[in-house]
Structure formats: C-alpha cells, structure tokens
Structure 1
Amino acid sequence: MTFRNYALMLAPVALIAAAPSTAQSQAERMARVTTHMKTVGTMTANFTQTDRNGGAVTGKLLLKRPGHVRFEYQKDVPLLIVADGRALTMVDYEVKQVQRWPIRNSPLAALLDPGKDLARFGKLVPTSTDDVISVEVRDPKRPEYGTITMIFVNKPGAPGGLTLNGWVALDSKNNRTSIRLSNVSYNGAIADGAFSWKDPRPVRRKS
C-alpha cells in the first residue's frame, strides 16, 4: 500500500436522503450534535474504510480530544495514521515514507476539535429518518482543507444521546473515503503514549 492508495482517508459518508424530517427543528438537531462533540473526551472503535473504487480495509481507531487520533490498520496494511495534538502524520512502513501536515489543514479537524463551531462551519444534510443526523463541515474560506460529513445515530446513554456512526471525507482534489464505525465506546482512559509512532526512515549518520 502507498500514500496514493490511502492519501486522505478522510471523506464524508453521505446518506441517500429523502425529504428532511420535521420532528426536530434544525436548531435542535445541531444542538444535539454540538452537545455530543463537547462531551466526548475519548473514543475507541473498530472501523471499515472504503475508497471510491470500493476497496475496503479495517482497523482500530483511538481518539482523544483535543487533537489526538490513531488509525491502526489490519496487519497486512503497513500504514499508520496518527495525530499527536499538533500534526497529522501518515506513516507507510512498506516504502519507509512519512508525511505530516497541520491538523487544521485536514477534514479531520472538525472531528478532533471539540470547540469547533459547528453552527458556523457545519450544515445539516437531510436524512430519511429522525434517528440519523448528518452534518457537513467545511470552511468556505479554506476550501483546500476539504470537507467532512459526519453521521450520528440516536443511542440512549451515549453522549448527547448520539453515537458517531462514521463519516465521509473529501479533500480538495475530490479524493473521497468513507469510514464506518462499530463497537464504539466513549470516555474511557487512553494514555497519550497511544499516539506515538515509530519512524521507519533510515537514520542518516553524520560523517
């Protein structure tokens, strides 16, 4: 696997929408999502990532707000994606390549920052049922940062009564990737060390 295959595994999971539901007002639905985002400190989940060609891989997700995430792929995918609070790092152990960029320049910024003003940067996407809330987030002044559409599903007992079901991310080059989550658990202890990574690049010795 190379960076080209998984370069931005961060594009929105759009639902095919029917007419928007009227049981809850737009403001009420957005308020529920905002409450959920502000009350989630950590999250663990299994994920399935699907690219625009239908290829799928699985893995384990760890998230710790603000700014920390780890996507650890199945054993035959030598790729790791980690955010350490400052930068988002993609490590390809097969080709010994590392790529880093500021978290704010990625669609994942909306997921990693609990203080993100969703009312300002997000808009509700119509869904076919009241049990699902879909929010598309992008900064119109920074289209190069991409778009993320997060999908929330009603779940009693979860933060804000919602659980994150997945998302679709779309980068500025229209690279699209869908993430679907399962076995989601919230607000357990996750050590900061879980977001470290081993640099595969050879060490250059000074002569």
Structure 2
Amino acid sequence: MVSDLGVNVTKCVQSVRFTRGSPPEPISTVISTDPQGPLGICQSVDGGLLVTLRDNESDPYNLDTRSRRLLRQITMRGDAHEYEYQEDGHTRLFTLPVRATQNSNSDICVVNRSRSTAGDLRIISLSGGIKSVYHGENLTKTFNPADVVCDCHCNILVTDINNRQIHLLSPDGEFLRSLLTDNEENRPYSLSLRNTKLWVGYCEGFVTVFQYRM
C-alpha cells in the first residue's frame, strides 16, 4: 500500500545530508538535517530545497519543550532558513509538517497533521507568517490531507484520504471545488503535477494519470 510505504520511509530515514562533489573529487557535506528526521522534501522555486522535519524524541502529536517541528529552506549555496515559530517567536507554526511545496507566487503550502487521521493545510509567507489555514469544505468525514501540489495558475491541490477527494483551492486557500467526484472506493494519497498530467497515487496501491485542465 502507498500509505504503508510512506510510513516505512520516514521511519528508516533519520537525516538528510546535502553534499557537493563527485568521484574522483572528494565529497563534502554542505548541510545536514541531523538530529531532526525528514518527513518530506521538494524543490523550491529558486532551485533550492524545502524539507519538513521533526525531532525523533517526542510524541508525534503531543508537543513538549523538546519538540522540533519545522520547515527548512535550503538554497543551492547551502544556506538555510528555518520556519518553526510564528512571527511572535513563541507560537509554533506546525504540529507535524509532513509535506510541503512552494507556489510560484512564493507562498509555501504545508500539509500539517494534528493527529494520525486529521490535519490541515497551512499557507506560509516567505517571512514566516501564516496567511491562511484550510480545514476542508463539504466534508462527510474529518479532513485528512496527505500531499499538496500547485498548478501554473497558483491554484492548490491537496489530497484528502478520509473523504476520498482532491480539494482544489485558490492561491489564497479558498475552496473552489472537489476533484475525483466520481471516486467512491479509492483514497488519494500522493500527487505529482507536470504540465497537464496529474499523477495520483492511492492508498490501495496503484497510480492513475489524469488530464488536468483549468
């Protein structure tokens, strides 16, 4: 199952090391995420990387003073900027950030889990402020996001496992409509959007490719 594979990967990977050089040149570590473990990684609009991270010590959903839950933006030069607290410097941005992507308008969209079967989507500005939080619309069950991508119009697509839907949102996080309206059996988990091809991976263990038009 796709969902089980994702869990196994995050348990096995303890850190990510970014290196430069290739044989026969010596390889050196530019930056390491250790001691935080990576949950998701994607490319930012400037060619760098976005990595969602958590500590390996505290409970996933009950945060304490040891807890580290953050998004790290890493440039091609190896510089890093962290998003962990809101602009007041005390309020946490995330409970458990599992996936992230950067929109072409520079906003960062983060799937934030509050428990194992529920969460929200947070839109973060480059300065680190929360622009909006999406909790789902037209739901029959608890909103349970797993992955997020953005299209060329800066619209946002986020999977919802419990409601077996993909939610289409405006760049500001306003609900536009549900995709996969004829889907009643399968639970969308992961997404990839390339040009007009939308790849959807399901918890049931298969992938479907859709023609995506706006």
- TM (norm. structure 1) is 0.25
Higher relative contact order (CA 8 A, sep 6+): 1
**Higher strand residue share:** 2
**Higher helix residue share:** 1
